Amino acid sequence: MSSWLIPTADQIVSMPPGEVEAFVRAMDRERRKVEAAIARFVHRVGESGAYLVDQHRSPKAWGKAACNWSGAEAARFVRAGEVLDRFSAAAALAADGGLGVAQLHALGRVVANPRVAEHLADGEQFLVGQAVALDHDDYVSVLASWEAAADPDGAHDSHERAHRDRAARASMVGERFFLDAHGGVPAGVQIKEILDAFAQSEWSADWEAGVGAHGESMCPGLMARTDAQRRFDALLAIFLKAASMERDATGTGVTVNLHVGLDAFEHHLAKGLGGDPGPLDPCDPGSQCVTGTGVPVDPQDMLVAAAIGTVRRVVLDSQGVVVNLGRRQRVYTGAAREAVMMAARWCVWAGCHRPASECEADHTLPWAHAGPTSSWNGAPMCGHHNRWKTKGYRTWRDPDGHWHHYRPDGTEIGWRADTRTVVTMRTGDPAA
C-alpha cells in the first residue's frame, strides 16, 4: 500500500464524487487480495504441518506468534482459509479482489459450523453469490437464516437454551442504576419493538421542542437529549405506563411482522403436527423464518406466535413487494405504507442505516414525475435522504430487488457502481 499516492484534502475536494469513491474502492480491492492471500497461506501452513516445527499447537497459535495477531484475528484467518480452500468460486473472487473482507470472514464463521457441512457443496453458489450481491448487513442476515435452515436442530436447541436461560436483574452500584436482561428471540423482538416505538416518541418530542426554540435552524445536533438518554427515558416511560394503566384489548399497540415463505410455513406446520416433511432448501429465500428486521426465529416459536395472534405473517414476492394500490392516492397510508416500510429494514440510501421505524414512506420516482403510489415505487427513507430527490438525485430498485442511487449527472453512488456498467431503463428508472 506504500505505493499509493494518497490525494490531499484539497485534491479530494476538487475530484468528482464518483472518482473519490472509485479511488477508495481501488485501495480496498488491493486490501481484499492481501487478506485472501494471507488466509490461503495460513491454510497451507496448516495443511503442510509447518506450524509444528517450532512446536506450535495449531495454525492459529502459529499466526499469533508470527504476526502478533490477536486470537480472534488468527482464528478469522484460519476460517477464511478453509472457505477459500472449500469454495473455488470464493477463491476466484478473492484472488481478484471481488470478495469483501467482512463478507469473507462472515462466511468463514458459517463454514466452520460442522453441522452444516453436508449442505455446503449445494450452497456454494448461493452463499458466494449473495456475498457480492448484497450489502454487508443484509448478507449477514441471509447467512444466519441459511445456517438456521441448514441446521434446524442446532438452531432450535440454541433458541431453546436462550429461552431457558432467560434472566433479568436490576441493581444499584454507587450512584448508578443498572438493568441487565437476556432471553430468547421471540420475547426479545417484542421488547425491542416496544422500546424502539417509545424511543421514537421521545425523539419526536425533542425535535418539536427544538423547532420551537430554534426554528428553521433546528438540526439533530441541537436536540436536548442524546439518543442514549432518550432510550433510557423511553424505558422508564414503559415501566411507568405498565404500572399505571391496565392492558387494553389492543395489547402493546406494536405489531411484530414475521416474514416466512408459504411453503416453509406449511412445512413447519406439518412438522409441528407430527408429520415428516422433506427438508427445506436452505438456499431458497422462502425457507427463511425471520422478523421484519432480519432476526432469525425458531420455526416452533413462529408457529406458537402465529397461533395466538401475536405476530402477523407476511407473504412476499421475490422482490419483497407486498401490495400494489396503483396511482389512485398520493400518499402511502394504511396497508400500503406498511408494505413500503417492509421493503427494507432501514433507510435504503447507500450507506445509511437509520432504522425503517425512523424513516418516511415515500415515492422513489416522485409523484410529480408520474411516480405511482405502489409498493414497488415506495421505500423507507430517512428525512435527510428523502429530501435529496428535490435536488436531482434518483433512486431505483432493480428486478433483483437491489437499490441503486444516482447523482444528478447520472453516475451511480456506492459500491454497486462497480457491478453495473449498463443500466436498462424502464418506467420508474432514474433516467425515465
Whole-number Å distance between alpha carbons of 174 and 177: 8
CA distances (Å), origin 97, targets 80, 90, 208, 338:
14, 10, 47, 39
Whole-number Å distance between alpha carbons of 3 and 26: 13
Answer whether residue 427 shows pLDDT above 50. no
Q: Any idea how long the chain is?
A: 432
Answer whether residue 121 shows pLDDT above 60. yes
Taking CA 30 as the corner, what is the angle to CA 25 and CA 34, rounded to the nearest 5 degrees? 140
Give the pLDDT confidence of 324-366 residue by residue, as tens digits. 333 334 344 555 566 666 767 778 888 887 787 777 776 665 5
Are the C-beta atoms of residues 386 and 377 closer than 8 Å to each other?
Answer: no
The number of helix segments (H) and strand segments (E) in the chain equals: 15, 10
Lowest mean pLDDT among 228-242, 391-405, 413-427: 413-427
Average pLDDT, the chain: 80
Are the C-beta atoms of residues 378 and 333 closer than 8 Å to each other?
Answer: no
* Cell numbers found for residue 212: 420551537
Q: Tell me which residue of 53, 51, 52, 55 sits closest to 77, measured CA to CA.
A: 51
Q: Is 402 helix (H, G, I), strand (E, B) or coil?
A: coil
Q: How confident is the model at residue 385 (pLDDT cuts 50, 70, 90)?
A: confident
Q: Structure pTM?
A: 0.67
Question: Could you tell me which residue, 339 or 179, shows the higher pLDDT?
Answer: 179
260: which strand partners?
289
Answer whether residue 239 shows pLDDT above 80. yes
Q: Which CATH number fits domain 334-418: 1.10.3470, 1.10.490, 1.10.1060, 1.10.30?
A: 1.10.30
Query: Looking at residues 306-317, what average pLDDT do you find?
Result: 52
Answer whether residue 201 shows pLDDT above 80. yes
Q: How confident is the model at residue 82 (pLDDT cuts 50, 70, 90)?
A: very high
Whole-number Å distance between alpha carbons of 273 and 299: 13
Which residue reads 433483483 in cell numbers?
400
Identify the sign of the CA torsion 24, 27, 32, 35: negative
